[in-house]
Amino acid sequence: VWAERCISAQGKKCGVCATKCPYNAIVVEAGKAAQVIPAMCHGCGGCVAECPHNAITQMHFTDAQILAQMHALLAEKPEEKILALMCHWCSSAGADTAGTSHFEYPTSSRGIRVMCSARMDRDFIFEAFRLGAGMVLASGCHPQDCHYITGQRHAAKRFEKLDKTLEGMGISPERFRVEWISAAEGSKYAQVIREMHGTLQSLGVERIKA
């Protein structure tokens, strides 16, 4: 936690991070910066994505590291690519299963792995579209399978509000998709990418650029 950014340290009421933590690993006291108890933290990163003041970071999955990957993956012809944000335990493993099972799908997808869908900040999605990504996929565990108890539920609630926001920004809502994919569902991952690629082609490069 960056104390200078945390408004709790300024005596203001917040505590969003503590309410979103599945493990009660964050302590918030009036007049003090939020404190993460390392021994209780399981590293889902939900608090990082939920903090309205960007006052928390996560080791090995900092905003800077994730955005650097995104910028590299979308450096060339971004409008022809599908950027897939994947959770470590399920959807990323599902993508691996698709590969090892030799399920065919287009080569237009580019994946970024985070520990949990709860770590997928709205800002990541906005930045992907700002960089010109043709499509964005947010994927993670099924609700009953989340390795971080309530992580998936917080992510799902966050994504529910995005369609109208994107539409208000002039971005076609169909360019953003949310899917829950288990480690065993390699065929589903491949099918989702095929469908998204089809949507990408039907929209066309010029419309996406516009």
Contacts of 24 (CB under 8 A, 6+ apart): 18, 40
Task: State the Cα–Cα distance between residues 126 and 101, nearest whole angstrom.
Answer: 33
Using an 8 Å Cβ cutoff, are 180 and 148 in contact? no
Q: Angle of helix 91-100 relative to helix 186-203, nearest 10 degrees?
A: 90
pLDDT digits (tens, 9 = 90+) for 124-145: 999 999 999 999 999 999 999 9
Looking at residue 46, its pLDDT comes to: 97
Res 30: pLDDT? 87
Can you give the pLDDT at residue 119?
Answer: 98
pLDDT in tens, 165-187: 999 999 999 999 999 999 999 99
> Residue 20 pLDDT > 90, yes or no?
yes
